[in-house]
Amino acid sequence: MKSYTYVEKSGKNFKPTATAQEVSFAKKDIYAKADKNRIAFWEDLAKEGIDWIEPWENGKAYQQKGNSFAWFKGGKLNLCYNAVDRHLNKPEKSAIVFVPELMHEKKIVISYKELFKMVNNAAAMLKYNGVKKGDVVSIYLPMIPETLAFMLACVRIGAIHGVVFSAFSPDALRTRIKDAGAKVLITSDIYYRRGKKESLKKKANKATRGLRIKKIIIPRAKVGKFLNQDHFNYIQPEVMDAEDLAFILYTSGTTGKPKGVMHTTGGYAVSTYWSAKYIFNMQEGETIWCTADIGWVTGHTYACYGPLLNGATTVLFEGMLDYPTPARYLQIINDNDVSIFYTAPTALRLFAQHGNKYPNKYKLNSLKILGSVGEPIDEKTWLWYYTNIGKKRCPVIDTYWQTETGTIVICSPPGIGPFIPSYAGKAFPGIDYEIADEKGKKLPLEKKGLLVQVPPFSPSLIRGVWGDPKRYKTYFIGKYYLAGDNAFKDAQGNIRILGRSDDVIKVAGHRLSTAEMENAIEGLLGVVEAAVVSKSDALRGKVPIAFVKSRWPMKEEKIVGIVNKKIGPIAKPAKVYFVKDLPKTRSGKIMRRVLKALLANEDPGNIMTLVNPESVKDIGEMLKSPPSPPKK
Ligand code: PRX
């Protein structure tokens, strides 16, 4: 396969080559075009990219009243039709490539025609189980083709899917099923992780004990065949309003309760189709491998809807990227002619630990574009990615977005650039981001502050928090949408993300709530109170550290165990410190900022306003003292 060079060095940064500019869908003039009239810009994209059953009312593409806003209201469409049915003119084109974790199992390639059959059969199964338009269906599945088929089946019949990350614990699943009021749960018996069987069914049974919910269980042995049988039930796609809900996806906020982020049909379809096209230059028939799990928004948008809306092929890999050898991910790219590889900095740091030993064995000529997502990518990792996987031919596109934005909102498109290590880039055409202070006042360029989106809001931005309209309001500061991240913007409009401004932490790119971990720990008998803060980690970006005040001596494993049970293994504290007292203000608020500073070996700042300043000294000394030797 011939390879092209899409990027070249330009001073300390990188820019697209003439070839990249020529072959890219988004050209330099796109920003000016979008800025002229952002609503008209999105209207044109909506008409060109998506098949509508009925158009929205002329002149009413965007409506806003206070914090409520709508895109293309009155317009009718079906998301599943756009992702599957409309590609049936090329029925043999590959839609999904499923790569099992076990090396002796063969990959399964599913064509659009087969996916169409699978989706219709899944839709029939949902209907048979009483699912109607507006009902919520919980999906607790690994990375198998059936997961995508059931998601698409939901949106086909107007049901709302709520996918729950398969590594979440039964308690976490139960909370989400109950909050969503799901009617049906779709799960599987097992899947493979590092060669071992993980039983999802057991966890699902535990989660649903005593709940009135129907279950559909997909046997691992029938992957690719469970829905792809001889019989075929055609189910007419439901006519959906652009503002009807497509899905909810739970994410972590600053309280202990996860929030169901609501996404609607029309805006999501338009933003997903175009972000995939403009940011990844996604062409019909090309292969993208987005390594994110389907339980996170990245999996929804760039492993499922983005590729399928564009008629591309999506790779689903069941297992761990470095199993059974650190070359596994390279083999998958190589064997499947992957042209777009999209992963998280934590995975890249893991790969980079092995230097260039493994990547040097592969040419990776099929690659065009590399993406990074989920957490800030440091310059060293960026350069390793560019050099060893991209072979200095492919741009590294750092993509910033959130469960709430639904699609990528800040990045440097491949034909435009510039690609600056550690900068996410400019706001996507038609979207405006600014930096504001805590009162919601816009700050000048180069000043650090809160990242905010300026109305008219992006088409796929969150429309509500499931069952909690009050919580939705906390997303807004004045007229702006508040992202929850700190950032600054340089004179060219390039934005650098500096990390969360709230108590959410990103562990290996996974979004977790410190409050949820604290709630879990505080539920243990004998615990008086707990504070969880993040600490930088060379591999995982950030890790949670727990400070616990207990009534009697406790073992660290007990604290780690309860977090594992209530949330899942990804949230396990990396270290637990048992303390005499937690630093508090007079009003009783735990000063997590002080704990964070102590962990980072930084000055904790003014502590005289605390009721117990001596606690800071005690904890400081405890952190400095060498860890006690392991018990025999
Ligand atoms: O803190 C930002 C970080 O991830 C948060 C959103 O997490 P989640 O909703 O799970 O969605 C992750 C995948 C889109 C953001 O508020 N984040 C995401 N992308 C980046 C990032 N931080 C820095 N650089 C990024 N490219």
Could you report the average pLDDT of every consecutive run of 10 residues in the chain (632 residues)? 89 96 97 98 98 96 97 98 98 98 97 98 97 98 98 98 97 97 98 95 97 97 93 95 98 91 98 98 94 98 98 97 97 98 97 96 97 95 98 98 98 98 97 97 97 98 98 96 97 95 92 94 96 95 97 97 96 97 91 94 89 94 73 45
Q: Does ligand 1 have an atom closer than 6 angstroms to the CB of 299?
A: no
For residue 632, the model assigns a pLDDT of 42
Q: Determine the residue of 263, 279, 294, 400 to mutate for testing ligand 1's pocket, defined as the one with the most ligand atoms within 8 A of the Cβ atom.
A: 400
Q: Is the CB of 398 under 6 A from ligand 1?
A: yes
> Is 423 touching ligand 1 by the criterion CB < 6 Å?
no
Residue 424 CB–ligand 1 contact under 6 Å: yes
282 and 147 part of one domain:
yes
Task: Indicate whether 529 belongs to any domain.
Answer: yes
Residue range of the domain that includes 548: 504-624
Number of the ligand 1 atom closest to the C-alpha atom of 499 = 1
Yes or no: say if 256 and 513 are a contact pair by the CB < 8 Å rule.
Answer: yes
- How far, in Å, CA of 249 to CA of 297, rounded? 7
Which residue's alpha carbon is at the smallest distance from atom 6 of ligand 1?
Answer: 402
Q: How many other C-beta atoms can be found within 10 angstroms of the C-beta atom of residue 263?
A: 27
H or E element, residue 30: helix 30-36
**Which residue, judged by its Cα, is nearest atom 21 of ligand 1?**
375
State in Å: Cα 498 to ligand 1 middle.
11
What radius of gyration, in Å, describes the C-alpha atoms of the chain? 24
Residue to probe by mutation, ligand 1, list 401, 405, 461, most atoms within 8 Å of CB: 401
Does the beta carbon of 503 lie inside 6 Å of ligand 1? no
Question: Which residue's CA lies nearest to atom 25 of ligand 1?
Answer: 400
Torsions phi, psi for 337 (to 5 deg) = 50, 50
Q: Rounded to the nearest whole angstrom, what is the distance from the C-alpha of residue 609 to the centroid of ligand 1?
A: 33
In a domain, 499, yes or no: no
Contacts of 7 (CB under 8 A, 6+ apart): 14, 15, 16, 17, 20, 386, 390, 392, 393, 394, 395, 417, 419
Q: Which candidate, 341, 335, 343, 389, places its Cα nearest to that of 369?
A: 341
Query: For atom 4 of ligand 1, which residue has the closest CA?
Result: 374
Predicted TM-score (pTM) of this structure: 0.95
Of 190, 185, 160, the residue nearest 174 (C-alpha): 185
- Same domain assignment for residues 447 and 514: no
Q: Where are the beta strands (DSSP E) in 331-395?
A: 340-343, 369-373
Give the pLDDT score at 353: 95
Segment holding 92, helix H or strand E: none
Closest CA to 424 of 438, 413, 415, 435: 413
Q: Are 565 and 476 in the same domain? A: no
Q: Are residues 542 and 480 in the same domain?
A: no
Give how many domains the chain has, as a whole number.
2
Helix axes 592-599, 614-624, angle to 10 degrees: 30
398 CA: nearest ligand 1 atom: 26
The answer to whether 99 and 318 have CB atoms below 8 angstroms apart is yes
Element housing 385 (H / E) = none
The finding on whether 374 has its CB within 6 A of some atom of ligand 1 is yes
**Residue with CA nearest ligand 1 atom 22:** 375
Q: Identify which of 297, 305, 372, 375 to mutate to test ligand 1's pocket (most ligand atoms within 8 A of the CB).
A: 375
* 373 C-alpha to ligand 1 centroid (Å): 7
The Cα 421–Cα 413 span in angstroms is: 14
Atom of ligand 1 nearest to the CA of 372: 26
Residue 122 located in a structural domain: yes
Query: What's the CA-to-centroid distance between 205 and ligand 1, angstroms?
Result: 32
> At which residue do the structure tokens 């409050």 appear?
515
> Residues 313, 192: one domain?
yes
Claim to verify: residue 472 and residue 562 sit in the same structural domain: no
- Report the nearest-CA residue for atom 13 of ligand 1: 374
Ligand 1 binding pocket includes 397 (Cβ within 6 Å): no
Predicted pLDDT at 627: 59
Measured distance CA(297)–CA(300) in Å, rounded: 5
401 ligand 1 Cβ < 6 A = yes
Question: Cβ of 300: how many Cβ atoms within 10 Å?
Answer: 27
At residue 390, the 3 state secondary structure works out as: coil
Kindly report the protein residue whose alpha carbon is nearest to atom 23 of ligand 1: 376
Closest residue by Cα to atom 11, ligand 1, is 402
Does 480 share its domain with 541?
no
Here the tokens at position 415 are 């034909």
The verdict on 521 and 438 lying in the same domain is: no
Cα–ligand 1 centroid distance for 369 (angstroms): 19
Q: How many CA atoms lie within 13 A of 397 on its CB side?
A: 30
Say what the pLDDT of residue 3 is. Answer: 82
- Say yes or no: 481 and 509 in one domain: no
Place of tokens 């092929």: 313
Between the CA of 433 and the centroid of ligand 1 the distance, in Å, is: 15
- Residue 292 CA, closest ligand 1 atom number: 13
CATH number of the domain residue 221 falls in: 3.40.50.12780
Determine, yes or no, domain membership for 490. Answer: no
CA distances from 116 to 90, 147, 152, 276, 311 (A): 12, 14, 10, 21, 13
Domain membership flag for residue 497: no
Instruction: Kindly give the distance from the C-alpha atom of residue 612 to the centroid of ligand 1, in angstroms, as a whole number.
Output: 35
Asked if the structure places residue 61 within a domain, the reply is yes
The helix-helix angle for 170-180 and 200-207 (nearest 10°) equals 50
Interval between CA 46 and ligand 1 midpoint (Å):
26
Which stretches does DSSP call E strand in 117-244?
A: 136-140, 160-163, 184-188, 190-193, 196-199, 214-218, 240-241
Pick the atom of ligand 1 nearest to 401's CA.
Answer: 14
Q: Is 493 inside any structural domain?
A: no
Same domain flag for 290 and 374: yes
CATH number at residue 603: 3.30.300.30
Is the C-beta atom of 251 inside 6 A of ligand 1? yes
Nearest residue (by CA) to ligand 1, atom 24, is 376
Distance 345 CA to ligand 1 centre (A): 11
| CB 403 less than 6 A from any atom of ligand 1 | yes
> How far is the CA of 18 from the CAs of 27, 89, 384, in angstroms?
11, 33, 24
Whether 521 and 476 share a structural domain: no
Measured in angstroms, how far is the CA atom of residue 485 from the centroid of ligand 1?
A: 9
User: Cα dist. 581→175, 528, 547, 548, 627 in Å?
Assistant: 31, 10, 9, 8, 19
Q: What single DSSP character describes residue 427?
A: E
* Shared-domain flag, residues 476 and 509: no
Q: Between the CA of residue 630 and those of 554, 626, 627, what are the distances in Å?
A: 16, 12, 9
With respect to residue 496, please indicate whether it lies within any of the assigned structural domains.
no
Give the residue, out of 397, 399, 506, 514, with the most ligand 1 atoms within 8 A of its beta carbon, to mutate for a pocket test: 506
